[in-house]
Amino acid sequence: MSELEPIVFPGGGRCHRRLQPPGFRVRVTFERRELDRILDLYGRKVAAGEWRDYAIAFLRDRAVFSIFRRAAELPLYRIEKDLNLARRQGAYAVVAASGRVLKRGHDLERVLRAIEPDLRVVN
């Protein structure tokens, strides 16, 4: 079978291998560098004893990284990537447990500063 031979779907629909079937929706995910940055912050907070657990959800309209103090509680923060808001308000957001958006923007680094600890000089 060559790359461009049609694939026959149940119901008589046809699609080329490189094309997506009608109605196909891609799930939103975090890219490798985004996840590395989020896990870097998460690791530092775990080492400090502030956070203990996390969960990742890849939904059709957004990707969510939830941060927990304990596994049985509601998340302290949610880091969300919503591509529907990418052009207007920015794809990234940090949402508090109360549902309030702490920071929204186009750059993940800037958005994560809302929950990242300030570095202090120790004398």
Which tens digits make up the pLDDT trace of 19-32?
556 665 667 889 99
SS (H, E, C) 30-85: CCHHHHHHHHHHHHHHHHCCCCCEEEEEECCCEEEEEEECCCCCCCCEEEEEEHHH
Q: For residue 31, which of 68, 66, 83, 89 has the smallest C-alpha distance?
A: 83
Rounded mean pLDDT, 13-42: 74
The three-class DSSP label of residue 99 is coil
Annotated domain spans of the chain: 32-112
Q: What is the pLDDT of residues 102-123, one digit of tens each?
A: 999 999 999 999 998 666 667 6
Higher pLDDT, 68 or 121: 68
Q: Is the pTM of this model over 0.85?
A: no
